[in-house]
Amino acid sequence: MKNILIIGSTGQIGSELTMKLRGMYNGNIVAGYIPGAEPNETIRESGPCAIVDITNEQQIAETVSRYKIDTIYNLAALLSAVAEAKPQLAWKIGMGGLFNVLEVARAMNCAVFTPSSIGVFGNNTPKDKTPQDTIRNPRTMYGVTKVSGELLSDYYHIRFGVDTRSVRFPGLISYVTPPGGGTTDYAVDIYYSAAKGETFECPIAQGTFMDMMYMPDALRAAVEIMEADPSKFIHRNSFNIASMSFEPEIIYNKIKEYEPDFKMVYNVDPLRQAIADSWPNSLDDTCAREEWGWKPEYDLDAMTRDMLAKLKEKFGK
C-alpha cells in the first residue's frame, strides 16, 4: 500500500499521474490543488482531494498527517515561458515551495519526487547527447529554479536522509491536458492543429532540435524511479531521461504522413526561441538506464499515430 500526495495534481503532468497512481495503488492517493485550479470530475470522484498550496508548509504538513502520506510528488511549478514573465513567482513556487516540501518530508519521513528539466542546461553545455554530469548554467529563471532544486534535494538526502529522487524531463507531449506555456509546447500544439484541420503557426525556428517525450513514458519514469532499488543509485537528483529528439520540420513531415493536407507556417516567438536555443539538442540517458532500468516505449511514429487518433476522438473528427 502507498499513501501518496500529488501537489499540483491539476497540471500537465499531475492530472494524468494522479489517475495512473490511483490505478496502481490501494492507499490514499491525494490530489492536492489550489483554489482556481480545481480537479476535474474524474479526479474528484476517484479519490481524495485536498487544498494544498505549496507555499504553505503547515497546509502540506496537515495533509501529510491526515492521510498518513509516505510519498510526495511535488509537481508545482511555472513552465518556462511563464516563469520568464513572472520570475519572482517562479522562484517562490519552485524554490520556496520545494523547501516547504522537503522540511515536511524530513519531519514526517516521506520520500519526495520533484521533476527537473532539460532547462537546467545552458548555452555552453554540450548540445548533442548531453552527459548526465556536465555544466549546468541556465539563463532562465525556470532553469535556475530547477538547478537549485536538484542541489537542494541532494542536500536534504545527504544531510537529513530524505529519500529524494528526480528525473530531468524533456518536452512532454500529451493529448489530455492543453499546453500551458512551455517552450516545447509547440510539439503539443502542432498535433491539436493537425487534428482540427487548422494551419499551424510554429513559434520555434526550423532546425531547432529539442528532446521530447510522450506523456505515457514520462508517467512511467515518474513511477519507476520511485519504485527503484536505491542501493543501485549513483545519482539521485536528477537523472537524464530521453526518448526522441526532433526539430519542427521533422514532426511536421511525420504528421503529414497521416494528414497529407496539413499545413505549417513559421511565426517565431523570440522569447521561446532564445530559451530553446539554450537547451540541448539531445540527452544521454545512460545513467538512468543502468541505475534503474529506464527505457522509453514510444518513438515519433508511435506517438504521432496515437496523438492524432486520440485528439480526433476528443474533437469528434
On the question of pLDDT at 4 being above 80, the answer is yes
For residues 238 and 116, is the Cβ–Cβ distance under 8 A?
Answer: yes
What value does the mean pLDDT of the chain take?
A: 95
Residues 117 and 259 in one domain: no
User: Is 132 within a domain?
Assistant: yes
Q: What's the pLDDT at 82? A: 87
The amino acid at 47: G
Average pLDDT over residues 106-117: 97
Q: What's the pLDDT at 315? A: 87
DSSP H or E segment with residue 172: strand 171-173
Residues 163 and 203 in one domain: no
Residues 14 and 162 in one domain: yes
Residues 21 and 136 in one domain: yes
User: Choosing from 33, 73, 142, 186, which is the catalytic residue?
Assistant: 142
Residues 118 and 196 in one domain: no
On the question of pLDDT at 181 being above 70, the answer is no
On the question of pLDDT at 166 being above 80, the answer is yes
Average pLDDT over residues 246-268: 97
Rounded Cα distance, 192 and 214, in Å: 15
On the question of pLDDT at 150 being above 90, the answer is yes
Average pLDDT over residues 55-80: 96
Partner residues linked to 239 by β-bridges:
167
Q: What is the pLDDT of residues 198-234, one digit of tens each?
A: 999 999 999 999 999 999 999 999 999 999 999 999 9
Percent of the chain whose predicted confidence (pLDDT) is above 70: 99
Alpha carbon distance, N-terminus to C-terminus of the chain: 41
Residues 111 and 190 in one domain: no
Q: Which residue has the cell 530553446?
A: 276
Q: In whole angstroms, how large is the CA radius of gyration of the chain? A: 19
Task: For strands 167-169 and 239-240, give the pairing.
Answer: parallel
DSSP H or E segment with residue 43: helix 41-46
Residues 205 and 62 in one domain: no
Rounded Cα distance, 315 and 111, in Å: 39
Residues 108 and 181 in one domain: no
User: Is 290 within a domain?
Assistant: no
Residues 189 and 219 in one domain: no
Domain hosting residue 185, numbered range: 171-212+244-282+298-315
On the question of pLDDT at 266 being above 70, the answer is yes
DSSP H or E segment with residue 84: helix 80-85
Average pLDDT over residues 296-316: 95
User: Is 140 within a domain?
Assistant: yes
User: Is 287 within a domain?
Assistant: no
DSSP H or E segment with residue 266: strand 264-266
Cell of 167: 528525473
The amino acid at 3: N
User: Is 33 within a domain?
Assistant: yes
Average pLDDT over residues 149-169: 98
pLDDT band at 12 (very low <50, low <70, confident <90, very high): confident
Residues 221 and 231 in one domain: yes
Nearest to 187 by CA among 172, 198, 176, 199: 172
Q: Known catalytic residue: 142? A: yes
Q: Give the chain's domain count.
A: 2
User: Is 79 within a domain?
Assistant: yes
Residues 190 and 47 in one domain: no
Going 37 to 43 to 45 to 51, the CA torsion angle's sign is: negative
Q: What is the pLDDT of residues 39-56, one digit of tens each?
A: 999 999 999 999 999 999
